[in-house]
Amino acid sequence: MWKLYIKHFKGHLTLERGLSDNSIEAYLRDVTKLHQYLELNADTTAPEALTEEQVLGFLQYLNQLGLAAHSQARILSGLKSFYKYLLLENTVQTDPTQLIEAPQLGRKLPDTLAYPEIVQILDGIDLSAPAGPRNRAMIEVLYSSGLRVSELLDLQITNCYFKDGFIKVMGKGNKARLVPIGSDAIKFTEIFIENFRSQIEPQKGHEDYIFLNPRGKQLSRVMVFLVIKEATAQAGIDKKVSPHTFRHSFATHLIEGGADLRAVQEMLGHESITTTEIYTHLDRDYLRQIITDFHPRARRVVRSY
């Protein structure tokens, strides 16, 4: 029964949900792991008869194997999707995974740059180099508007409303949003478009993209990472900096400056405000450090004897 249901689940993921091959394989692996666990324990329970206790036993087994909490949570998510499908097909009457919560995941605070470090990176870009104006414009936009790297690369000339100080961004799930853009980002982007991009012959289908390579094609993600790596090294900053670092820095600096959390959520394109709340943790850590460093009743007293 398990193999038959898994086969039908694969068809559902392929035809109904249109997932990528890698995503489909991940889902099938998760369900197969549960089936293998049952076989290992000589348990012949069919999917429709599985209980919550058996699923909890499986998760405990994964924990004993030393599987990370993140991996356990992903497997449980796969099982929940499997049973959601079985419920839709009326194959099962109850979902044994419904009340099971994923293990708590520690939230890793994102790396950020201080504002002077961002200025250092931007000012260190050689504008006389062939790619200098493009690279300056890209990083200015990343930090000015908090874009994801994919949103930066998909940015189109017809979606730039520089006179109004906004750009139209296509985010996750192809959802569009209007994001403010700063004056420096506008200035350097216009310089690039008017004086350098105009000299590139765009290939068919790439005519409206702002950031092109010399061959007239939309710039790749890898190229943006390399540009930022080189600019960071040139500025003498010994940190691991990626395009997302500028997005994190954008949000952190806004929160530190007193920006409304809902406004930051809107600008970042987060569906849930809980995703944006991580930046309030960063802000609280910063404030806590200020208290520790400067409040007379919080500082450590160094006594000499």
Residue of 134, 136, 247, 253 with catalytic role: 247
Band the pLDDT of 302: cuts 50, 70, 90: very low
Q: What is the mean pLDDT of residues 289-305?
A: 54
Compute the distance between CA of residue 223 and CA of residue 203 in angstroms, rounded to an integer: 18
pLDDT greater at residue 16 or residue 208: 208
How does the average pLDDT of the chain come out, rounded?
Answer: 88
Nearest to 114 by CA among 241, 231, 261: 241
List pLDDT tens digits, range 149-183: 999 999 999 999 999 999 999 988 788 999 999 99
Considering the candidates 74, 148, 187, 217, report the single residue annotated as catalytic: 148
**Beta bridge mates, 300:** none
- The catalytically annotated residue of 29, 172, 175, 215 is 172
- The reply to whether 270 belongs to the active site is yes
Verify whether residue 295 is a known catalytic residue.
no
206-250 residue pLDDT tens: 999 999 999 999 999 999 999 999 999 999 999 889 999 999 999
- Domains located in the chain, CATH noted: 2-88 (1.10.150.130), 115-291 (1.10.443.10)
Given phi > 0 = left and psi -120 to 50 = alpha, else beta, which region is 205?
left
- The pTM of the full predicted model, rounded to 2 decimals, is 0.61
Is the model's pLDDT at 41 over the cut of 60?
yes
Respond yes or no: is residue 197 known to be catalytic. Answer: no
**Whether 279 is catalytic:** yes
Count, residues in the chain: 305
Least confident stretch, 59-68, 106-115, 252-261: 106-115
Long-range CB pairs of 252-256 (<8 Å, 24+ gap) are 252/110, 252/112, 252/279, 252/282, 252/283, 253/115, 254/279, 255/279, 255/280, 255/282, 255/283, 256/282, 256/283, 256/286
